[in-house]
A and B are shown apart, each in its own frame.
Chain A
């Protein structure tokens, strides 16, 4: 079932004019922002299909940048997002992509940051499937399939025996139910990405505990159902662990 509940049909509350080109784009942008863990210094955004054909008219550019600022779909600041992004030091570039994507409304975001002496980069591909609902289809070259309607744990690790069992054991002990789960790897014993969509939010302590598991390099939580942690939109619900 692509559409999971009543509020994926009636809802979201949003700033117009298009649920797929505006609200969906905002949610894709916000997913990328929360996964990145902070405001990026640079955001390269490529639109495909109907997104590429009509993004200016629909305000897709404005909405996706609103998402990068960690705003919800009905945030009244959305019409001014491009200006506010400049003020916050985020350099945004838009491109029109070519090539065959399986869905007509697709956006690819490349976020970069140099802060804290460490260069970081994140690539996220998402599609807007209608009514403001999204599917994130790729993270840094890993194939995923998630909707953003659940608190979502994104875990980078090595493709070693037992890692997934250790992660799910933390879930079992904390009585956190896993709604959906996917694993992808770049090669046998190579880099892997596990994504868990959860039925309930998870505590910082548990995120830290997962970060301690051998071979796990980073753990991020994305929760699009909650308003941003503070006015500056600095998301605090993220935790990184270096092995």
Chain B
């Protein structure tokens, strides 16, 4: 890849006159040595799997292996049908779809890690709901996924994307940044605006710990995906409106690295602290042990 920072990525897009997504298809093909069309088809397959996971999460029984979670996406959709969502229809759909995919993940269904399974709902939530709303083609969406991947590539290589290394900010936070930046591009914003969206989004999740109850990717992971999709819409709107991330996005990524590196082990996916060690969290954990 010919870029290491978001700054270099947007400069490269400008100098080559390409969108982030189109640039990333070329960069990927150069890196893998495979035909660009083949790389595009792989990503198109992934988008189909994302849409399938949304559909399944909205219609099937998504009770998790532990029995702790399931059908929350369907609850939100049902509430929305009565016109009750404060968020409104479109953001409500993004939230419900993100919950749906995360619930499919928790019930051992098939998903695409974006960038991780713990954060697999956010990008499908934003992408599938926005495609329905704006009537975009699948091709447009697949380029959007390449744009999200380019942003994630920079975050992952300059910081981290696993909760065990950097807390939830590294998983859910990264996914929100990727979704926000990609949505700016999908809606016609410039690469520079997309990078501002990434920084704006990441700032909102700095410090978020990874504290899964019982060590399961269920509580609070699933609802954080729902919230994350809404935050991504908000960050994209701010960037499209001209709001800038005054602290450059590459510097925000460095802060994520600093905060994650300083995070105690008990807050990095070990279930040793946070929500996992509350009285209720501990009670759930001991019930799970007894069930076995």
Could you tell me which A residues sit within 8 Å of B by CB distance? 1-20, 22-23, 49-50, 53-54, 56-59, 74, 76, 78-79, 103-105, 128-132, 199-200
Contact = CB atoms under 8 A, between A and B. Distances in A.
Q: Among A1, A17, A57, A128, which residue has the most Cβ atoms of chain B within 10 A? A: A17
25 contacts: A1-B157, A3-B153, A3-B161, A5-B28, A7-B28, A8-B156, A9-B114, A9-B149, A10-B149, A12-B112, A13-B111, A15-B108, A16-B120, A17-B118, A19-B120, A49-B164, A50-B164, A54-B215, A74-B110, A128-B162, A130-B115, A130-B165, A131-B113, A131-B116, A131-B156
Nearest to A50: B164
A20 B116 contact: yes
Interface string B8-33: 00000000000000001001100111
Contacts of A6: 24, 27-28, 39, 43, 146, 149-150, 153
B161 A131 contact: yes
Contacts of B171: 130
Nearest to B32: A5
A14 B215 contact: no
Given A1-B1, A104-B270, 5 more contacts: A3-B157, A10-B115, A19-B118, A50-B270, A57-B271
Contacts of B217: 16-18, 58
A105 B164 contact: yes
B268 interface: yes
Interface string B75-119: 000000000000000000000000000001111111111111110
Interface in B248-288: 265, 268-272, 288
Interface in B126-166: 145-146, 148-150, 152-153, 156-157, 160-165
Nearest to B118: A18
A34 B127 CA distance: 37
A57 B28 contact: no
Given A9-B153, A23-B113, A50 B268 contact: yes
B42 interface: yes
A185 B156 CA distance: 32
A16 B216 contact: no
Given A2-B156, A5-B32, A54-B215, A13 B112 contact: yes
A105 B216 contact: no
Contacts of B270: 49-50, 53-54, 104
Contacts of A129: 162, 165
Nearest to A4: B31
Contacts of A3: 153, 156-157, 161
B223 interface: no
A54 B271 contact: yes
A13 B110 contact: yes
A17 B62 CA distance: 12
B146 to A, nearest CB: 6
A129 B111 CA distance: 19
A169 to B, nearest CB: 22
B46 interface: yes
User: Could you say which of B105, B108, B160 has the most chain A C-beta atoms within 10 Å of its C-beta?
Assistant: B108
Nearest to B49: A13
B230 interface: no
Contacts of A103: 165
Q: Which of A1, A22, A57 has the most CB of B within 10 A?
A: A57
A58 B49 CA distance: 22
Contact of B110 (A1, A7, A14, A58): A14
Nearest to A20: B162
A12 B111 CA distance: 8
Contacts of A20: 116, 162-164, 269
A66 B40 CA distance: 28
Contacts of B271: 53-54, 57
Contacts of B191: none
